[in-house]
Structure 1
Amino acid sequence: MSYEFHVTAMLIVIFIAALAMFLLRRSNNRLSIRIGLISWIALSAYFFIETIIIRATTAPYSFLNQPMSDLGVTTCGTDTYVLASYAICSPYHWLMNWTFFLTGLAILIGAVLIYPLWPKVRSTKVASVFIGIFGVSYGISGIIPADIDFNWHTLSALPGMVVQIPAMILISIAIYRKLPRIFWWTIICTTITSAALFSLFLQPVFTSLPGGLLQRVLYASVYIWLTGTSIGLWSRKLSR
């Protein structure tokens, strides 16, 4: 299947998801919240899927040093994009790009549909927007692989490396009295993702730092936070 076919299919999914979110928010608040919570819990599947894709690569792939984007490169060989002077061959690149796309979409859906569960303050509204931007940024990585257009792939991914941190800080400020367990969970995950981002900034100086691992920690800490937070919100909601 061609790259153009995948992009068309992804755009159709976006349209259907947008329409579904609009209808759910208008007609059934309880169902929409539940779908939002499930969307964030489903993020834990990313780690299982990535493991399958890494095992299927036919060129050596370094989990510690290579970026996640290499798994979505659509061609095999060397110099597939600007910074890749090494060999890349990921037969399941289509699965990786769909995983990037659907992961970002799930984050965005959760940000929109779970919003009513947060305290009704300005900071949670801003935080939800930031989480939505995080999801959109991540999803575009699947629509535009690095070898198709490296500049757009990189530029679209940059917001998703940063916006989750102020989002998590704003959430923690809003919930520290009402949701103390989720507050401390948020603080722990914020600290981890912030440390990973800071370490990535240091990598040009300290070249021995494992860039691939740091990138995974940067994103995985957010996935785990969203999954754990949704479970905490669900148990609190159901216990009422």
Structure 2
Amino acid sequence: MSYGFHAAAMIIVTLTVVLAILLFRKSNSRLSILIGLISWVALSAYFMIEAIVIRATTEPYSFLNQPMSDLGVTACGTDTYVLASYMICSPHHWLMNWTFFLTGLFILIGAVLLYPLWPKVRSIKTASIFIGIFGVSYGISGIVPADIDFYWHTLTALPGMVVQIPAMILISIATHKKMPRIFWWTIICTIVTTAALLSLFLQPVFTGVPGGLLQRILYASVYIWLTGTAIGLWSRRIREAK
């Protein structure tokens, strides 16, 4: 199927989900909370899907050095986008792009539907908005692959490299008394993702630093944090219900 078909399907899914979120978000029902929790826990599936896509590549792919976006490039060859002077061929690019898209969408769903579970402080609202922006930023990278429009692919991805850090800091401040386990979990993941981002910025100086690995750590630390946080919120909700 063509790129246009997949992009149109993703946009339709987005509109449908946004409409559903608007209907669910004010209900504070068990179902909406459950959907939010499952959305964040499901993020852990990303790693398995990426491994499948990498295994299917028909040209050598460097997990350590190549960016994740290369797996979503829709054409085979060299110079498929501005920075790719090397050979790329990812037959399962459609699967990777849908994974980028759905990962971002699940992050957004959780940010909205899990809002009632957090302490009632203003910083949580700001943090939830930042997490939502992170999800939108990441999801767009699946709708617009690097070889289709490198400018928009890159520009829309930039917020998703940064906004998770203030979101995590704000959540750690809001949870340090009422949710100590989530507080410490957030602190650890904040340190990891911040270190990865700083290392990426220093890559032009330290050229031997593996950029692909750093990018994966930057994003994976957020997926793992959201998955662990969802499990923590879930277990806390169960304890409170007893």
Normalized against structure 2, the TM-score is what? 0.98
Give the Cα–Cα distance (whole angstroms) in 1 for the partners of residues 167 and 32 of structure 2.
22
Give CA-to-partner distance per residue, 1:130-184, whole Å, 9 cap, x none: 0000000000000000000001000000000000000000000000000000100
Determine the C-alpha separation between the residues in 2 that align with 1:28 and 1:230: 16
Corresponding residue number in structure 2 for 1:153: 153
Partner of residue 95, structure 1: 95
Does 2:189 align with 1:189? yes
Q: Distance in 2 between matches of 1:154 and 1:147?
A: 11
How many residue pairs match? The answer is: 240
Please state how far the C-alpha of 1:26 moved relative to its aligned partner: 3.7
Q: Which amino acid letter does the alignment assign opposite residue 204 of structure 1?
A: P
Q: CA deviation at 1:20?
A: 1.3
Seen in structure 2, the aligned counterparts of structure 1 residues 135 and 56 have a Cα distance that, compared at 3 Å, is same
Partners of 1:84 and 1:27 in 2: CA distance:
47
Matches for 1:61-100 after TM superposition, within 5 Å: 61-100=61-100
Q: Secondary structure of the residue that 1:181 maps to in structure 2?
A: helix
| Alignment-derived partner of residue 124 in structure 1 | 124
Tell me: CA distance 1:99–1:182, structure 2 relative to 1, closer, same or farther (3 Å). same
State the Cα distance separating 1:234 from its structure 2 match: 0.2
Distance 1:160 1:54, change over 3 A: same
CA contact (8 A) 2:28 2:116 kept: no
Deviation at 1:25, TM superposition (A): 2.2
Matched with 1:141 is: 141
Contact 2:40 2:107 survives alignment (8 Å): yes
Counterpart amino acid of residue 68 in structure 1: M
**1:138 is matched by which residue type in structure 2?**
Y
Scaled by the length of structure 1, the TM-score of the pair is: 0.99
Write the deviation string for residues 49-75 of structure 1: whole angstroms up to 9, x where unpaired: 000000000000000000000000000
Q: Equivalents in 1 of 2:208, 2:49: separation in Å? A: 28
2:186 alignment partner AA: T
Distance 1:82 1:19 in 2: 36
**2: CA distance, partners of 1:171 / 1:42:** 21
Q: Aligned equivalents of 2:238 and 2:111: distance in 1?
A: 19
- Higher alpha-carbon deviation: 194-203 or 29-38: 29-38
Determine whether 1:49 maps to 2:72: no
Question: What residue ranges of structure 1 are gaps of 5+ in the alignment?
Answer: none
Secondary structure of the 2:25 match is helix
Letter in 2 for 1:162: V
The code of the aligned residue for 1:25 comes to: R
Equivalent residue for 1:200?
200
Runs (5+) with no aligned partner, structure 2: none
Cα deviation, 1:96-137, whole Å, max 9, x if unaligned, reads 000000000000000000001111111000000000000000
Query: Given residue 172 of structure 1, which amino acid in structure 2 is its aligned partner?
Result: S
Query: 2: distance between equivalents of 1:26 and 1:173?
Result: 25
User: How big is the shift at 1:28?
Assistant: 5.3
